[in-house]
Amino acid sequence: MQKEHEKYMRRCLQLAQQGASSASPNPMVGSVIVYQGKIIGEGWHQQAGKAHAEVNAIANVTNRELLKKATLYVNLEPCSHQGRTPPCSNLIIEMQIPKVVIGCRDTNSLVNGRGIAKLKNAGIEVIEDILKEESEFLNRRFFTFHAQQRPYILLKWAQSKDGFLDINRQAHQKGMHWISSPETRPFVHRERSEVDGILVGANTIINDNPHLGISEFPAQKKLWRIIIDPQGRVKPQSQVFRDPHFVYFSAEQRDVETQIINSGNPLAEILKVLHQKDILSIMVEGGAFTLQQFISANLWDEALLITGPKSLHAGLAAPKIKGEIIEDFYLKQDRIQRLFPL
């Protein structure tokens, strides 16, 4: 029976993954309904404010009478509170579904076992912790956001084979200096599509004038552009301000909407503002000084290192980081490594 539960939970996780670029600030959730060894309905949560996975799975069932003898699988505990949509646990009870199998609990304080308790009190059999580790990993950004009261922080940079981020630039040398190959960019843009914001320091905007978008991966998403510029050096005409979806931090008011930072702990202040804006996760893309600030403060949850095939021999040194490598592979000539903190 355990293997059967795992089989259907894996399908839930596959469905949930479809919300990777659209579900935030809600978690990614998939659900299947099984009757006599066959899936009779399935669904996933597409966007905050729209129907939850369990609701979509139930709606996908043609013969509603079968629900009274079916099992509902879902990778995250069904909600029990009224948010933008009604609680899923109420609908499960109303449909008289006798058994619910759950991947992991929702540790958000609004739920945290209340959905399970509600189902059990209604006489529904509840089985927990099926593929728990995989279920928790899928929604690691959601869990971190609520547990740490800050966004999930993914560091990302591309470095030369000999460990440099950039050439030693002269004052007249502006624009992008690519280290990674063109084939890697769709991968990076997919990673961008799964976070809510891209954070960079002033030097990155001044030197590269990036747009910080996801043009090379098909995702309907508005990314927050987050700029840290304590000294007010970034020009209001920079590309990053052309889209109104930005958060700009500086020590004084500028010609663009500004979040004032003036404390001795600016990163904590910045993360607090982003949390208040429901920005679930961010990718810190540079430059070297900004990345090293997060590393030195031990404020990171994941790191993505891209090492190109060429050496620069001199230039701006890449940050130094220690972590557990959980992925290590090549895209064409670029080496991709994903790290977690030790």
Q: Which residues are catalytic?
A: 54
Q: Identify whether the C-beta of residue 74 lies closer than 8 Å to the C-beta of residue 48.
A: no
Secondary structure (3-state) at 276: helix
State which amino acid sits at residue 324.
E
**How many Cα atoms are found within 13 Å in the side-chain-facing hemisphere of 129?**
0
The residues, ordered by sequence, that sit 6+ positions from 312 with a Cβ below 8 Å of its Cβ are: 160, 162, 164, 166, 167
Residue 228, Ramachandran bin (φ over 0: left; ψ between -120 and 50: alpha; else beta)? beta
Secondary structure (3-state) at 333: coil
- Planar angle of CA 227, 342, 322, nearest 5 degrees: 60
**Distance of alpha carbon 96 from alpha carbon 2, whole angstroms:** 23
The residues, ordered by sequence, that sit 6+ positions from 71 with a Cβ below 8 Å of its Cβ are: 8, 33, 34, 35, 97, 98, 99, 100, 101
Q: Identify whether the C-beta of residue 145 lies closer than 8 Å to the C-beta of residue 153.
A: no
Helix H or strand E segment including 192 = helix 185-193
